[in-house]
Amino acid sequence: MRRHMTYSLALALALGAPLFFSGPAVADNVNAQLPDLRTVVPLHLQLVNKQQREILRFSNGVANTGVGPWRMRPGFPISDTLQVQEAIQEILDVHGNVVEEKVVSRFAFHEQHNHWHIDGIALFEVRQGSPSGPVFGGNSLKTTFCLIDWYKLEGNSNALNRVYSDCAGAYQGISPGWVDQYHQATNGQQLDITGAPEGFYYLVSTANPDKVFIEKDYSNNTAWVGFYLRRFSNGNPKVEIINHSPCDSPGLCGEQAPNR
């Protein structure tokens, strides 16, 4: 059954079909050292007027608080930037040996960033009134990322040195205790809130929203920041931060996060 599922996934990827999974991806090997994907509270919110549209921009970080790396490789050596590749997650044991691997997503070349991205990394939403309120205008964005170790989540990390630093090589990933952050000026770090009335809103970010990547805990992947959208008589809106989701550590609250 597992071989048939892998073949079906590969065929869907080759045909460009969307990924569909009936439930969370899980590890079968009892020696698996799993990652745990967490979202750092979104930072650096700002409103930008672009071609008469009101664009909310923000920085987003995905942290790995598990004991194992989130390690991804393409199905074949990356050469043709027009070719979509299988994204295979490798699961390691405590000694660093690969004990399991599964096709979980796909690699695609991101022309605007000029490197390879992996599908389905995060989901961005603006919700009205509460973190679980209605999505404003159906305004949500499921985004792709290139995964690297960008900065340490806390002062010390389980992996002291950066392991994943290249979006063009054989592997992408996030080591235990590290964060990959995308700056608010990066293409894709935005949601359109044109026409939103004055009031309370919540920017909600969820890592691994479709639960396609194997990890320890799928219940702790979301973080949010609440803001009040104020509109002045001159028509210029302003975002005022009011609160954010609870954090298990200063790093997950975004303390000492760079503003790259």
Distance between CA 64 and CA 46 in Å, rounded?
26
Q: pLDDT value at position 252?
A: 97
Distance between CA 53 and CA 29 in Å, rounded?
49
What tokens does 3 get? 């071989």
Q: Residues 20, 22, 26, 28: what is their CA dihedral angle, to the nearest 10 degrees?
A: -110
Q: Which tens digit of pLDDT belongs to each residue from 195-230?
A: 999 999 999 999 999 999 999 999 999 999 999 999
Q: pLDDT value at position 5?
A: 29
Q: Where are the beta strands (DSSP E) in the chain?
A: 37-50, 53-64, 70-74, 85-92, 98-110, 115-128, 135-145, 151-152, 172-174, 178-182, 190-192, 199-207, 222-231, 237-244
- Which residue positions in the chain have pLDDT lower than 70? 1-22, 77-82, 110-115, 138-145, 156-160, 169, 185, 187-188, 260
User: For tokens 């919540």, what's the residue?
Assistant: 202
User: For tokens 């989540």, what's the residue?
Assistant: 153
